[in-house]
Amino acid sequence: MNTFTALNASTPPDQSIVDVAEHHDRTPMPLAELRRTAWTCSIGSAMEYYDFALYSLAAALVFGPLFFPSSIPSMGLVASFATYFIGFAVRPIGGVIFGRLGDRVGRKVVLLITVTLMGFASAGIGLIPSYAHIGIAAPLLLITMRILQGLGAGAEQAGAAVMMTESAPRGRRGYFAALPFLGIQMGTVCAGLIYFFMLVGVPNIAETWLWRVPFLFSLILLVIALYMRLHLKESPAFHKAQNEEETAPRQKRSLRDILTASRRPILGGLGLRMAENGGSSIYQVLAISYLVHTVGMGGRWGTLALIGAALVGAMTIPGAGYLSDRYGRTRVYRAFAILQAITAIPVWYTFSRGNPIFSLIALAIALGIATWGMFGTQGAFLPEMFGVYHRYTAVSFTREFSSVIAGGISPMVGEALIALFSRFHIGGVQSGLYAWIPLSLYVVFLSILAIIATFYIPETKDRDLLSEADSF
């Protein structure tokens, strides 16, 4: 099942489950409208991960010499990944701001704002002159654009997950809520292919203007996303909750009240995200840098490995959503977390050996199956954990705060480890090759945190989405 067939897949033989079935937690959404909503949310996710993959590849291959020149090349990479971290650091702020707005005025309005902010910020990166031309202003402008990117991305995926979970029929939420995340594969493959073909004919892309073209292409994606989202309908669950709010107004709760009352599911969600977001960041960013700069595999093989993993992920994500509908969110999530834990050491060992084909296969298993399997399960899992009136805020905060402590810091710390191993010849290898040992153990540690979390979170797949209470 690829990206396109998954988004257009038919419902089970009993189509009435979507078209006419009445659930007490929502009004029915026609199948055609549900598919349209999935496509619309996918375009936003595609833009976010197109930007994410672009920045990941550029941070590993371009930004160091262009914006952070240093006599020690590895230090330029550390600085480059520090700007990557900054984008993650501000995501909780964007998540809270836009999440609160989404709980008050609706999911659709926020999804329009976030995709616009991401599109303009990404295009802006492509217009920044290098350090050689404008000095310190260059990295400062890069940081500014990265902050704007992070603010917009802070509520984008949460909004897509909440929208689809609230729009999908009971018993099929996992599958439909996973579909927008196929946009991740679309964005990742698109960015990877662009860099792959540019690297084929350009020995050092950082010395040309070509690296800017993919960032400017974000404007085209933005136009498409805005057109589709202007025709998006509000989620049935939010619409019904809003009508009830008008009939019997509720006292507005502060962010502090929400975080206090929902601390248990938030902590549970943070535990889940440590493995998925941390693993995703490590494999998409740090592993590519390790293969290219430490192992010496070459930029084209690094981007090809990422493309291969994304194609595998395009099959894994909807499959994981389907399995979570059948067997439950906690059991399926736990299975993928265990898979990530037991493959971490052999995968990183394979990376260290420098065989391109084996490394490509290893990344496809680690990222394409294990990590993105958790991601596909997570689509409906997190929204179902929270009550309807604070769902967007709580999901955004959980997703994005975990992005800081799990995803954002991992490449920077990992690159520092590689630099440390290289500088002091740990393992007797000057390139830092033996840094694969602590890096693989770190992936195991993150996976164990998620496995533990699944034993404390109750099953959520059949929850009433109009409930004001959290799942536990």
β-bridge mates for residue 26, sequence order: 23
Kindly give the residue spans of alpha helices, DSSP state H, lying in 154-291.
156-167, 173-178, 182-201, 213-216, 218-230, 236-247, 255-261, 263-281, 287-289
73-114 pLDDT tens trace: 556 666 666 776 787 788 889 988 999 998 888 888 888 888
Average pLDDT over residues 62-70: 74
Q: What topology is assigned to 29-237+262-454 in CATH?
A: Growth Hormone; Chain: A; (1.20.1250)
CB 443 within 8 A of CB 348: yes
Distance, CA of 401 to CA of 270 (rounded, Å): 8
- Phi/psi for 22 (5° steps) reads -100, 125
Distance, CA of 402 to CA of 339 (rounded, Å): 21
- pLDDT for 235 beyond 90: no
Q: DSSP code of 466? A: T
Q: Which of 114-123, 189-198, 275-284 has the lowest mean pLDDT?
A: 189-198
Token pair in block for residue 462:
């059949």
State the CB neighbour count (10 A cutoff) for residue 30.
Answer: 11
Query: For residues 339 and 159, which has the higher predicted lDDT (pLDDT)?
Result: 339
The C-alpha torsion from 168 through 364 and 307 to 38, rounded to 10°, is 0
Task: Provide the pLDDT for residue 23.
Answer: 45
264-308 pLDDT tens trace: 999 999 999 999 999 998 998 789 889 988 898 877 788 788 889
Average pLDDT over residues 333-350: 98
Distance, CA of 126 to CA of 141 (rounded, Å): 11
Q: Can you give the residue ranges of every domain in the chain?
A: 29-237+262-454
Single out the residue of 243, 185, 207, 208 nearest to residue 43, CA to CA.
Answer: 185
